[in-house]
Amino acid sequence: MAGRERGLRRIAVVTGGLAVASIAGSLAIATVAHGETTSSRSTSGTGTSTDSTSSTSNGTSSTGGSVSGTTGGAQATSGGS
């Protein structure tokens, strides 16, 4: 009898653990999916999209770190012509 109860308890523990793991997995997938959706969203109606994967999914920032927005007259150009 005691052995049967121990067995049932073990099954309950394993089943509960699986349920917790399943919920955690679902949350992780939902988080990743949210990050991907955010990253593919267009930021304006001008045909420009901004990919923010590096800052939303892994928390790291660019190692380039060299470019930021500015205003005023340009001193040089870099482009396709």
Residue whose CB is less far from other proteins, 1 or 67: 67
Which backbone phi and psi does 42 adopt, to 5 degrees? Answer: -70, 140
- Report if residue 53 touches other proteins, rule: CB under 8 A: yes
Give the DSSP letter of residue 75: S
Neighbours of 41 (CB within 10 A): 11
Candidate segments 1-9, 17-25, 28-36, 41-49, binder of other proteins by CB under 8 A: 41-49
Q: What is the dihedral of CA 8, 10, 15, 18, to 10 degrees?
A: -170
Cβ 20 to other proteins shortest distance, Å: 32
The 59-78 contact track toward other proteins, x by CB under 8 A, reads: -xxxxxxxxxxxxxxxxxxx
